[in-house]
Structure 1
Amino acid sequence: MKYRNLLGKKTKTKIIVFESDDWGSFRFKNKYIRDKFIKNFNPHLWMHNYDTFESANDLQNLFDTLKAIKGKDDKNPKFTFLMNPSNPDFKKIKESNFQNFYNETFLETLDNRNDGKEIFDLYNTALENKMIEIGFHGREHLNVNQWMNDLKNNDKIAHLGFENKVWGFSGLFVPNAMKSYRSTFDINSYHEIKKLKNNIAEGISIINKTFNQKTTYFLPPDGPYHLSLNSELVHNGIDYIGLSKLHNNPLEPQWYHKKLFWIGKTTKEGLTVITRNVIFEPSSPRHNDPINFALKQITDAFKHNKPAVISSHRANFVGSLNSQQRDISLKLLSDLICKIIKIWPEVEFMTSSELGVLLKNS
């Protein structure tokens, strides 16, 4: 944390951006399947323990929390939802004898839920009220190439997950699991780049059609991502990209391959880079005091005239697997935002793309 805010563009305004990953994606579908794999709570598996597809009740509770708070100019706090707009269609994949990958879009997933229409309406209302931005997080939160190869080759662990409609493994709850399949853009060969370009084009198109928008922000899931894909992002309308400060391209582990990024840096393709510098994961047992942990990082960002870009995953704010924990996280979120406004009443809340516009034009 000591050096994270030294490089990058400065902003005169104190800015808060909440980025929240994994919306729209599957993890464990219900408690029965979760408990089948995770019998006892493990702090290293906290996200697996709580994360599942968002319900209408989850969205309503989060949006009510944000609407209840007013900041500068009587404006509400806002979130950037990093979305995976499709998931595997398990039925069709099985019918193909695991030879072909098929997906179901976000809208198709909603069609199979009793609260699907309500979920869609809540998303659209939040977009209209500028309470959220929907960014791109990969077509699925799934490495399709690795997963399908293992399914075709009758890998026992891949098929165990398939039978339970889950692929996000950990060796901590599935013995001998060597990979989780959740890193969408990880590669074992440069030949996979072409398929991932299609992933980008199709995924962004699904979001744009679903929400009648032009998606402009992208953040790769789980980190692995080859920068040669940047041109495809630009071709599909992306202007801003979330990257770690020290980026490693897959298949290029040498020190001289590492790329240094900072907030506001422009890539050779013209993408404006946004880097995160604050963690707020209230459901994680790793942080005994998540509010003060986040406030210290925000203070350091503002000290160096940097925006505070906060990482806070969906797992904190969904309650189908543990509604009590969701409610605790929402209370902590409310308390954090209220403390931010009290300490820095001039603070402005932005989405990632709104910050991107500011950085690009500064």
Structure 2
Amino acid sequence: MINSFKRTLASNLKNIVGWTTNRKIIVFSVDDYGNIRIASQKARMNLGKSGFSIDSNRFERYDGLENANDLTALFDALNSVKDKNGRSAVFTPFANCANIDFEAVKKNNYDKYRYELLPITLDKLEGYHGTWNLWREGINHKLFIPQFHGREHLNIKLFNELISKKDTHLLACLENECFTGLPLNYSKLVPFNEAYSFHSFEENVELSEILTEGLYEFEKVFGYRAENFNAPGAYEHSILEKTMSTNGIKFIDSIVVKKEHQGNGIYENKFRYMGKQNKYNQRYLIRNCVFEPNLVNSKDSIARCLKEIETAFFWKKPAIIGSHRVNFTGIIEEKNRKLGINALTELLKEIVKKWPDIEFMAANELGNLISLKNKHNEF
């Protein structure tokens, strides 16, 4: 009862301030696409034998790179409903455009981090035939509109520090072509999967260079410049917003109160709201709904998400539904994909049933709508 009250209160508070609209807009912002975490069930078992904790969270249990079966099932679910304009539901996958080049790292005697672009990864991996073509089809049919989640889903400085020491945990990962399950006590400030986390503030100079290169590589991979950004792990310093702006990023995903690291364990709270503009004329998009069917009971996740959508609409806000790929991937366990896709299909049917005047949008489309309306003083 207390937890339910807190969730309801938080859901209302995050929607009070900011851009409003009478339109009922739904956006799905889904993190982690394109990222290799666990290569296969066999690799996962090998890591377990090496002493890794492979059952401590859902990412270490289920989160493998999406394959053709995953994307086919997802696109079928998105196509199963239509909004008032006849448009299917759409995912905005916040995607990583590069992964560890395991072959090159091994060939060079584990000397330093090296990466390869996503289409190359998909072409090399067994069991991924046709996957990149499906990415392209999803983009062409506007079911799947990728935005930027970092060049890769890992902290390069930490990676190079560990590989220089020939860290046994990291080497076990690399031998199995995975990047998961590294002990979090390597660094309290820099988890292994947070690309833009740092110890000292000065590290943002190098992070800015990585960000610039990543946005360039994103355009090379997907054929257009990214407009939206959400950091792996959702941690980055606002000093990087200038670099984002220079390289085409117009919209930044956020929560209302973001705990921002200033360096050496010192934090400041940053307050943001839907459509808030920073000094580079970028706007913040607030994820105000959650859909994580393999984190809680899938029925509960549907009911909770519908309630959060209802709250967003009550305050005349678009509903931006945050989620993760791990809910919809089946390379490790097929039942995980079935659970997630079935829950998504049910959620979509309930949405169009409850709100027949719904409009599905990608995150960048919503951002451009907010910017356009604000130009005409329709806040």
1:326 lines up with 2:329 in the alignment: no
Per-residue CA distance 1:130-187 (angstroms, 9 max, x = gap): 112110000000001111112102333333333333333265xx9x665641001001
Per-residue CA distance 1:197-218 (angstroms, 9 max, x = gap): 2221222222212221121111
Report the 3-state secondary structure (helix = DSSP H, G, I; strand = E; otherwise coil) of the residue aligned with 1:4. Answer: helix
- 1:59 match: 71
Distance 2:117 2:54 in 1: 32
Is residue 29–residue 322 contact of structure 2 (8 Å, CA) maintained in 1?
Answer: yes
Shift in Å, 1:254: 4.8
- 1:8 match: 18
Tell me which of 85, 91, 96 is aligned to 1:84.
Answer: 96
Report the 3-state secondary structure (helix = DSSP H, G, I; strand = E; otherwise coil) of the residue aligned with 2:30. Answer: strand
Distance 1:226 1:178 in 2: 18
Letter in 2 for 1:352: A
Shift in Å, 1:59: 0.6
Distance 1:158 1:122 in 2: 32
Please, which runs of 5 or more residues in structure 1 have no aligned partner?
none
Q: CA RMSD in A?
A: 2.1
Is residue 298–residue 339 contact of structure 2 (8 Å, CA) maintained in 1?
Answer: no
Tell me which of 257, 262, 284 is aligned to 2:295.
Answer: 284
- 2:44 match: 34
1:17 lines up with 2:43 in the alignment: no
Is residue 77–residue 131 contact of structure 1 (8 Å, CA) maintained in 2?
Answer: yes
**1:118–1:73 Cα change, 3 Å:** same
1:120 lines up with 2:132 in the alignment: yes
Report the 3-state secondary structure (helix = DSSP H, G, I; strand = E; otherwise coil) of the residue aligned with 2:94. Answer: strand
Shift in Å, 1:287: 6.2
1:103 lines up with 2:130 in the alignment: no
**1:250–1:300 Cα change, 3 Å:** same
Q: TM-score with structure 1 length normalisation?
A: 0.92
Q: TM-score with structure 2 length normalisation?
A: 0.88
Tell me which of 197, 217, 220 is aligned to 1:186.
Answer: 197
1:197 lines up with 2:208 in the alignment: yes
- 1:346 match: 357
Report the 3-state secondary structure (helix = DSSP H, G, I; strand = E; otherwise coil) of the residue aligned with 2:133. Answer: helix
Distance 1:149 1:103 in 2: 16
Is residue 46–residue 176 contact of structure 2 (8 Å, CA) maintained in 1?
Answer: no
Q: Percent identity between the aligned chains?
A: 31
Please, which runs of 5 or more residues in structure 2 have no aligned partner?
1-6, 374-379
- Moved beyond 6 Å, runs of 4+: none
Tell me which of 142, 155, 168 is aligned to 1:156.
Answer: 168
Shift in Å, 1:288: 5.7
Report the 3-state secondary structure (helix = DSSP H, G, I; strand = E; otherwise coil) of the residue aligned with 1:198. Answer: helix
Is residue 9–residue 263 contact of structure 1 (8 Å, CA) maintained in 2?
Answer: yes
Report the 3-state secondary structure (helix = DSSP H, G, I; strand = E; otherwise coil) of the residue aligned with 1:17. Answer: strand
Shift in Å, 1:115: 5.5
Distance 1:251 1:94 in 2: 35
